[in-house]
């Protein structure tokens, strides 16, 4: 008899799936997030930040003297007490062609006040300087009767003194200051010397 023997083959072991190393665990993900947040906070803490923007000093007096010499206009400049800061000064031609002397200041309380002066001011020039201000009354300051105007479009208040004749300057004092502070600003105006 012949016997054939069937080779004894053991069943092949089951193939194990590869380890899930790339997927990680929830614990690993939390640790990674904490490390990233700590690094981000450290970076944020080291970056310098500006707490206050300081503006360079503006020399109103030298520009005022130059305008006075070039135009022979009797422009005014305020002699303000300590605490006021000049922020801008210019002499430009407005949209209607009128040359305008302008100087802006910040009060100690943080209110903005400016002076604008020109010869032969038009209604359009007054309207532009006062942001289309509407008349509210008058007040007397520095020996002048000023017209009070308030803009409905902005928080701007203005005092206006219109020059009479072709050589007298019209003056507009404008800003976010109350009328009382605008009147104090008017009292501080002094003519710029001719030389």
Q: Is residue 123 one of the residues assigned to a domain?
A: yes
Would you state the pLDDT for residue 174? 97
Q: Is residue 55 one of the residues assigned to a domain?
A: no
Would you state the pLDDT for residue 53? 76
Q: What is the CATH number of the domain that holds 74?
A: 3.30.200.100
The string of pLDDT tens digits covering residues 159-173 is 999 988 777 899 999
Would you state the pLDDT for residue 57? 79
User: What are the residue ranges in the chain where pLDDT is below 50?
Assistant: none
Would you state the pLDDT for residue 164? 80
Instruction: State which residues form the domain around 80.
Output: 60-191
Q: What is the pTM of this model?
A: 0.72
User: Which tokens go with 185?
Assistant: 């600003």
CB 175 within 8 A of CB 111: yes
Q: Is residue 176 one of the residues assigned to a domain?
A: yes
* Total residue count of the chain as it appears in this document: 195
Q: Is residue 36 one of the residues assigned to a domain?
A: no
Would you state the pLDDT for residue 154? 86
Q: How many domains does the chain have?
A: 1
User: Which tokens go with 165?
Assistant: 């004749």
How far apart, in Å, are the Cα atoms of 114 and each of 11, 132, 185?
98, 16, 9
Q: Is residue 26 one of the residues assigned to a domain?
A: no
Q: Is residue 154 one of the residues assigned to a domain?
A: yes
Would you state the pLDDT for residue 195? 72
Q: Is residue 21 one of the residues assigned to a domain?
A: no
DSSP notation for the chain:
---PPPP--PPPPPPPPPP-TTT--HHHHHHHHHHHHHHHHHHHHHS---S-PPPPP--HHHHHHHHHHHH----EEE-PPTT-EEEEEEEEE-TTS-EEEEEEEE-TTS-EEEEEEEES--HHHHHHHTTS-EEEEEEEETTEEEEEEE-SSSS-EEEEE---TTTSEEEEEEESS-HHHHHHHHHTEEEPP--
Q: Both ends of the chain: CA-CA distance in Å?
A: 142
The string of pLDDT tens digits covering residues 77-114 is 999 999 999 999 999 986 678 999 999 999 999 999 99
User: Which tokens go with 80?
Assistant: 């303000």
Q: Is residue 39 one of the residues assigned to a domain?
A: no
């Amino acid at each position: 008899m012949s016997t054939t023997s069937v080779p004894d083959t053991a069943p092949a072991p089951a193939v194990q799936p590869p380890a899930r190393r790339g997927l990680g665990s929830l614990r690993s993900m939390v640790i990674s997030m904490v490390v990233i947040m700590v690094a981000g906070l450290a970076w944020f803490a080291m970056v310098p930040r500006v707490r206050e923007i300081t503006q360079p000093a503006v020399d109103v007096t030298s520009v005022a003297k130059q305008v006075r010499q070039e135009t022979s206009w009797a422009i005014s400049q305020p002699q303000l007490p300590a605490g006021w800061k000049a922020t801008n000064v210019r002499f430009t031609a407005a949209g209607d062609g009128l040359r305008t002397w302008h100087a802006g200041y910040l009060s100690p309380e943080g209110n903005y006040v400016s002076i604008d002066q020109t010869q032969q001011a038009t209604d359009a020039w007054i309207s532009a300087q006062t942001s289309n201000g509407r008349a509210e009354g008058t007040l007397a300051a520095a020996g002048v009767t000023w017209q009070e105007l308030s803009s409905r479009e902005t928080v701007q208040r203005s005092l206006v003194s219109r020059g009479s004749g072709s050589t007298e300057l019209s003056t507009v004092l404008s800003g976010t200051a109350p009328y009382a502070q605008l009147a104090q600003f008017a009292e501080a105006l002094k003519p710029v010397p001719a030389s």
